[in-house]
A and B are shown apart, each in its own frame.
Chain A
């Protein structure tokens, strides 16, 4: 333990004179309230500390204490189902309605432990030595820290233990002994090691049609959601957190609204996990640094969140991390950097913004864990560009590191067309690799239909520009048809309300059926127009409205109704062609 004494303080930054060794990035406790801080500079006998909490009342002469360890968090079975602040200190269980500085760690809870090893076994780093079960019944693995391995000297019998109790003792190769509890500490800024990275060929199924079908993200992939205020980033991220097929969700509220966190806390326990049927909250960890909580901790919160995600990945789980919003993190970085007098770069951000973003997104991966399992971390980050301008630094740098990019469009949002993902300004580099998965999961035409839809939407934009000059009616019939079909793709397929009880999540099976039906309409319509039918007549087909509303009207439990809808569609078109033929005949 080393000590230092505060020499000067201004805002969250303090200088202190040391009487003992400190390391760069060492975690420290500051003043009588033991506020958490981090050493950010060393200079002769002086350290510069960034404090993560409100420094009001601190004064020169107060003590700074360090333990020689970097900023680390305790990982363990108590994470799931709970909410933490930006430094992973529990927010629940506090008796006051307000968050005061100097909050302390939670009392450890008790879990049922079952050993998976016996004395004399050899444990490699990352290996499983036991299973713990929470009161909810969800089992988690106890894994060796990535930097510890040895021979088991003793292991606890099956039973209930506090999460910080020693349940396994190892003899390390150098002869020392090492005690393991149910979890362990890990420094947040250091990525947890893995055996190797694997190629990602399986999508994170999100249950959102525009994402899964047009701009999919792979498990272990990286996606970004830029959009101006109110365009639907948070709702989309929450919809993904509710509906995606990950085993564990880490939801990071980074500089956003307190009410949104409260909403998640209220809603998630009542929803069910699509994968296990258990309450959704049981697979969720929330890390919250709301916009009115200390900015310095915002900078650290993103690392805490991803470290938690990696921890579950290392247990062989597929994890999805939603970060809302990475812009607030970048701004915190900018603010902290400004306080140290660093030279500002583009947009006032420090020059290392880009590399920090790269480091963060690089921690997303699908891997073979040290323990030999497969696990993944998929990262989805919201971006809040100033005045919705996508050329700003955070968006443009992020774009270089993500493979799926979902741009939210203010126009769509204003028309209450949700999700407001703009089909022409979004992309996915993962799509091609994921086609085989869709083919194996009942949608062999996925790639073909996807391309078809995208082409229609692209043509639509082009034709609408034309129509603005010459009028819609002046367009050739084929092009009028394109407009009609593109409208249908939008209305019948891409629109999906996150609050609809029927449509908020769409199973891959239902997506395939809907995709196919829209594709079928386009085929039949093209054939009809080629045969001389006027596109306006297609707008009157009785099955068009059921098609436009199928997302709202046909739930996952009644998939057979899609076949009936298709039959009606075929019949309508057959009728149309017949009457058209007859009409032709009479005209003649």
Chain B
């Protein structure tokens, strides 16, 4: 069904277009608004009553006039036509092919809003993904089907890290290119060079033909940004749950998405909540982030690695804050580490992978993995405390143990977090044990006697009197 209304517009206000209702249409149905300028814009029916309807135009309304605006009704909500051949293609933020090739011959269409996965049908994500990054593999393991964002800041190397993870990620005992693997990349309001960096890197690693790119560049309409991740995730869900691929979806930058949400909300005159963001931002972000996971009896999985830049590096800002409440952990990048040339500059303490516990340990990685990472966390937290202490009373004013912690902290950042090249999990664990050997055994309360005897004692000269 495709019906048209001409000359029915009565009012335009920000993104809202008011029409006399001449047709029987349903709430949330998609529309195409064509202005006198010939440009088409997507929209949806946001409210209807007996005589009028309100259309939320999802792209810029500037240039529209009351007299010559034509509205075409789709008779159904926004959908995206999908086929395996979306891989290797480039789309704009609203799912139109922009790589000069022919349109995708759709095998099926899906609503871009998606539907909530029934929790009963979810399978708990368990497959440990080796990324080669110690701060992840050892300390904050990623598992297939997880949604784990990178909390970054302007100018930090999050793009490089994301590309490395995407191209290196593999199950143990499986090569990076093996397995039925696909990438869905959504650039949301990103600068051209950043999008180009991703495209080129993926090309370099030969991953481009396994990738579907969705690009809403910084220069594109900001209202479209609300649609870009929806088109991308619809594609990702299709590839994972219909085509059975292991999909990694990279959404960047979610901060631009949230800002577009604020912009649209305020132009609709909604009551703002914290920092002007709408009160429903939590639910709205959740409707994106929850589109990840594993489904019982389905081979494919959908893992989300989104990037967001924390405004003013503030993790308490509503965007990272709400995201952290939704995602299954976060990887936090630190400007301080970056300044000290630690790469990847991952701030381990505020970072967290909630699904780690399900994907590591005896049956999955290594029996000592959980205890080792817990002990490293405890020791590093102590060393950060010692650092604060030292900054006031000076290093000489510290007790002997605190001095050892101080040294541990430095080594932790320089030798464990910082890494010149990818490490296997075994290499990462080895680095961890070696660091712990620099602390007195009495301090290692998170390790069992057996673990100390097997891994720490042989690697270091731990003296019983080291404490003094």
- Residues on A facing B (Cβ under 8 Å): 7-11, 15, 55-61, 83, 91-92, 94, 96-100, 228-230, 253, 255, 257-259, 261-263, 265-266, 288, 290-293, 295, 328, 331, 334-335, 338, 344, 347-348, 384, 386-389, 411, 414-417, 467-474, 491, 497, 499, 536, 539-540, 544-545, 548-549, 552-553
Check B50–A8 contact: CB distance below 8 A: yes
Give B365 Cβ to nearest chain A Cβ, in Å: 14
Stretch at the interface among B63-71, B94-102, B387-395, B420-428: B387-395
Cβ–Cβ contact B27 & A83, under 8 A: no
| 8 A-B pairs with the lowest CB-CB distances in the bound complex, closest first | A8-B49, A415-B381, A387-B316, A291-B286, A10-B47, A262-B122, A261-B119, A471-B397
Supply 12 further A-B pairs (C-beta < 8 A) apart from A58-B27, A230-B324, A338-B279: A8-B47, A9-B47, A9-B49, A10-B47, A91-B120, A92-B120, A259-B328, A261-B122, A262-B124, A266-B123, A292-B286, A468-B389
Number of residues of chain B lying within 8 A (CB) of chain A: 88
Look across to chain B and name the residue whose beta carbon is closest to the beta carbon of A392. Answer: B274
- Tally of A-B Cβ pairs under 8 angstroms: 225
Q: Write out the residue numbers on chain A whose beta carbons fall within 8 Å of the beta carbon of B22.
A: none
B283-310 vs A, Cβ < 8 Å mask (1 yes, 0 no): 1001100110101101000000000000
Q: By the criterion CB–CB under 8 Å, are B124 and A263 in contact?
A: yes
Please tell me which one of the listed residues A253, A474, A548 contacts residue B445 in the complex, with CB atoms under 8 A apart. A548
- Asked whether, in the complex, the Cβ of B352 is within 8 Å of the Cβ of A259, the reply is no
Question: Do B119 and A8 have beta carbons less than 8 Å apart?
Answer: no
Contacts A57-B27, A97-B121, A288-B119; is A416 near B374 (CB within 8 Å)? yes
B398 interface contact, C-beta 8 A: yes
CB of B280 within 8 A of CB of A335, answer: yes
Determine whether B1 belongs to the interface, using a CB cutoff of 8 Å to chain A: no
CB distance from A540 to the nearest CB of B (A): 7
- Which of A58, A100, A540 is in CB contact (< 8 Å) with B115? A100
- Are B357 and A499 closer than 8 Å at their CB atoms? yes
Bound Cα distance from A148 to B118, whole angstroms: 37
- Whether a CB of chain A sits under 8 angstroms from the CB of B125 is yes
Q: Determine if A467 and B389 form an interchain contact, defined as CB atoms under 8 angstroms apart.
A: yes
How near does chain B come to A477, taking the closest CB pair, in angstroms? 13
Instruction: Report whether A549 and B271 are in contact in the complex, using a CB–CB cutoff of 8 Å.
Output: no
B314–chain A nearest beta-carbon distance, Å: 9
Nearest CB of chain A from residue B466's CB, rounded to whole Å: 11
Closest to A498 in B: B357
Are B393 and A469 closer than 8 Å at their CB atoms?
A: yes
Query: Which residues on B sit within 8 Å (CB–CB) of A255?
Result: 282-283, 286
Whether the Cβ atoms of B273 and A415 lie closer than 8 Å is no
Q: Quick check: is B93 within 8 A (CB to CB) of the other chain?
A: no
Our pick among B77, B119, B298, B318 for the contact of A91 (Cβ within 8 Å) is B119
Residue of A nearest to B322 (CB): A386
Q: Does B187 contact A (CB under 8 A)?
A: no
Contacting A at CB under 8 A, from B405-456, are 442, 445, 448-449
- The residue from B283, B357, B388 contacting A335, defined by CB atoms under 8 A apart: B283
Contact of A540 among B125, B388, B467 (CB under 8 A): B467
Partner of A94, one of B50, B118, B352: B118
**B118 and A98 within 8 A (CB):** yes
Supply 19 A–B pairs (Cβ within 8 Å), ascending by A: A10-B27, A10-B54, A57-B29, A57-B76, A94-B120, A99-B118, A228-B321, A253-B119, A259-B124, A263-B358, A292-B290, A338-B279, A348-B279, A414-B349, A472-B399, A472-B402, A473-B399, A499-B370, A536-B467
Which residue, of A92, A331, A387, A491, has the highest number of chain B Cβ atoms within 10 A? A387
Q: B116 near A293 (CB under 8 angstroms)? A: yes
- CB-CB under 8 A from A262, the residues of chain B are 119-120, 122-124, 293
Give the interface centre of B21, B124, B315 by most chain A CB atoms within 10 Å: B124
Report the Cα distance A59→B274, complex, angstroms: 33
